[in-house]
Structure 1
């Protein structure tokens, strides 16, 4: 689960930082932006989907300079932009030179050259336009009068060039879908995270019922699990609310603050996943009722340190511009990576020691629980990798144009939602194994179990008596040396009397 939690969180954070927004900025350096768009028939909404172009800043140009040339088009029609010159190169702008060569008509002067029929080198065939290409020139600030109507679902691009390299400009492209302000690549997250939140609520309700039913027979570990259930449920609801608010209000300053808050929650999710696995690997709640107080404090301090590093990395990521090439991000990234590696190493090391100890003590029930845990951890990793491999195979089966045209619809599922879904399955499965039962508390108190499965519930009388002792008289801190029995202890009169009363 620690690998899955880390992998899920990193993918989630990467998606949060890099996903295309509903509005994109372009300038003389980054002169092209693209985004998926849904038609109104495919995704219902209140408005007709469109793409608008708004010039925010543009430097002064001469009177005969058209300023910037703009084209809005479906990506699969990119071969229709420009005309082929005799030397095999392409010429894109309809100017005096292109008109003189007969590449375009004078009525389209100062616009992109658009060919109704173009040669597709991938299919080795001539193809016609799939959708309208809108092209114009603009030299003043403000919103362009005409909006590009999106009639079909696809991947649309906006490109802008200037005739002079000295001309500077900044413009905003609005990819407005019918349903709201969410980018088309994100809209499917809203219903899916809603369903995931419902799944967490149902699973938490079932766990809470078992928790209430056995409220007098609880382990501290089971209390941790319930608290984490509440946290994960709340986090998933917050994620769903984020996409819902963004769809209604757009990408506002308040939403960016909310996004930072969500990322801090994700850091808590990753850190607490590691912390739970670490104390379970140390035997907390199953092998021993409690860990040594000093050892538990060390685990808590290490988890808090890891959480602080994770939050620092996230905050620095948001403060640093996405296009920045600064290496300052490594100030927090390197310590976080080292901390995660140490967490991972300590967990596996402690898990191995606990499993060996249970084998030596022949505690088959507990050993079986830990083997199930290891199986779940490795299976979850394989499932996540299988999802990524499957997505790669799907992409390999597409040509370059199909991959760009269609991958934006499903990319989020494999990079963001799929790890979250697997994490849900792993956590619910582990919580079910460690759920409160009639014998779970006695399982933690027992130091030795019979190897006969039919007598698994036969605990020592000392264990049963310890359940009824006051909490302040029960020393629940058990160390490894306390778990080793000598021949003298086996020959103790009390043990002989007990064996006589309970023959095997």
Structure 2
């Protein structure tokens, strides 16, 4: 029997043959190993420890010893037939019966034979098993327990017919934390608790901003508030799920808990991509409705939701080391396919919206969408790097040292990294679309140009805000770029409805100019004059045109 931390496996065993690399190492000290000079008779039954010069076994984590299960060392020879009784039950399994081996296995020849020159009584390092063996963990690591049943000869004077030994046992690992979770999963408890508090803080800040600007909120800002609430619930549910698994063994309750968490996670991802897509398409900013595109967005979001639930359940229920590559791909490929469509569509739509806003000289909105584009581009680059790293990591999952090298960081690779990336991207996007005093200028309101070259005259004519013959004066005295009548601040075009309500409330007739700081009055195309001055927003007088 041997117990060790994985990094010390290089010290176990000796090379069997220097000339034949196909032969495995000799790991157990048997009579053959003693005759070959790999160990001494004093270490019979132990695993062979081959330490370099200057290193003692006390400096490693290796503990090894031979174990016997009774004081007299007797055993029951196995003949392939059910034991009729009359012998010791030392080698019998708990059910009292031995398995019926095939005929070819009855003549099994083992390299771990105690030869007639080294009887069991001469073992000096063998200890009888009378109580559980306790091993104190010296340091953090991936610990292993190895046992090999040594085949004995019933009588040294009889022909060498091997007898199969069999035993059963239980290995109990007690981690530094209290609970049932594997050490590779335990960090998720603290991680999801921290994420819950993080989203709660984001929600509190968002709620305070929404309250200050509650009269000017856009529908998108209500959607973001709802998504923050869903994120808090999801992180709290994930924390509760792993807390439950740490205190209770897997069962029906934990499976139901897992399904709830998977649905919340998939719903969060689908809703996030859906909102990002419709925003990139210009909904509520450049378009009143998406028409048939909205139906396609809903279908894509629904598929992404379904595949997300399957992936979330699969990553928890399936063991990566033993799962086939086809099963893993069945979980990953559908989700990756819908995710790729989402990302490509969002980037394409966002690029089109940016080009449209640039052509219409909408600088304020253009800056928002440009920053959004850069954030998403950075997220795509980071996700591409993550995909490469995770692919390289999972490609080595069948290696014998995969679990020992990845157990402490696997949670970060599977869950933590994507959750942190989502938090960063979400906070940046929410900051761009945060409630401000300019909210009322975002919904279907065009920014008025600051010079004659920046006017989108075609769009203004289509909107009905400018007569075709009124464009002549834009190149006149007051329409020249840099003239005193041109305002230097960003100016938004206010709709007819708001001006009409203001005139009815105050009784003031429509005018074309105003004092300093009042350059935002819309032109009434039915009025006899004051068209050009009202559009340019001059504040030092009025200019009229005679029809």
TM-score relative to the length of structure 2 = 0.62
2:81 pairs with 1:146: no
Query: 1:312 and 1:416, CA in 2 relative to 1: closer, same or farther beyond 3 A?
Result: closer
In 1, Cα distance between equivalents of 2:174 and 2:27: 27
Match 1:159 to one of 135, 139, 146: 146
Partner of 1:11: none
Query: 1:86 and 1:343, CA in 2 relative to 1: closer, same or farther beyond 3 A?
Result: closer
Cα deviation code 1:400-427 (max 9, x no counterpart) = 9999877644454455323322221210
RCO higher in structure (CA 8 A, sep ≥6):
1
Unaligned 5+ runs, structure 1: 1-69, 120-124, 393-399, 469-488
Query: 1:423 and 1:334, CA in 2 relative to 1: closer, same or farther beyond 3 A?
Result: closer
Cα deviation code 1:78-97 (max 9, x no counterpart) = 13322344647631122222
Partner of 1:130: 60
Q: Which one has the bigger helix percentage?
A: 1
Give the conservation status (yes or no) of the 8 Å contact 2:92–2:166. no
Query: 1:365 and 1:224, CA in 2 relative to 1: closer, same or farther beyond 3 A?
Result: same
Query: 1:423 and 1:141, CA in 2 relative to 1: closer, same or farther beyond 3 A?
Result: farther
1:268 shift after superposition? 1.9
How do 1:76-91 and structure 2 match up within 5 A? 76-85=7-16, 87=18, 90-91=25-26
Give the conservation status (yes or no) of the 8 Å contact 1:365–1:449. no
How do 1:209-358 and structure 2 match up within 5 A? 209-249=208-248, 251=250, 254-288=253-287, 290-314=288-312, 323-325=322-324, 327=326, 334-358=333-357
Give the conservation status (yes or no) of the 8 Å contact 1:358–1:364. yes
Partner of 1:56: none
RMSD over aligned Cα atoms: 4.2
Other structure's SS at 1:157 match? strand
Query: Which shows bigger deviation, 189-198 or 276-285?
Result: 189-198
1:364 shift after superposition? 0.6
1:226 shift after superposition? 0.7
Unaligned 5+ runs, structure 2: 70-90, 95-128, 152-162, 392-398, 452-486, 503-521, 539-547
Query: 1:127 and 1:386, CA in 2 relative to 1: closer, same or farther beyond 3 A?
Result: farther
Give the conservation status (yes or no) of the 8 Å contact 1:185–1:412. yes
1:186 shift after superposition? 3.5
Partner of 2:427: 428
Give the conservation status (yes or no) of the 8 Å contact 2:93–2:166. no
Partner of 1:46: none
In 1, Cα distance between equivalents of 2:450 and 2:170: 71
Partner of 2:27: 92
Query: 1:494 and 1:430, CA in 2 relative to 1: closer, same or farther beyond 3 A?
Result: farther
Q: Which one has the bigger strand percentage?
A: 1
Partner of 2:439: 440
1:357 shift after superposition? 0.8
In 2, Cα distance between equivalents of 1:467 and 1:434: 29
2:187 pairs with 1:188: yes
1:382 shift after superposition? 4.3
Q: How many residues matched?
A: 401
How do 1:445-456 and structure 2 match up within 5 A? 445-451=444-450, 454-456=488-490
Match 1:176 to one of 171, 174, 196: 174
Match 2:2 to one of 63, 67, 71: 71
In 2, Cα distance between equivalents of 1:383 and 1:324: 27
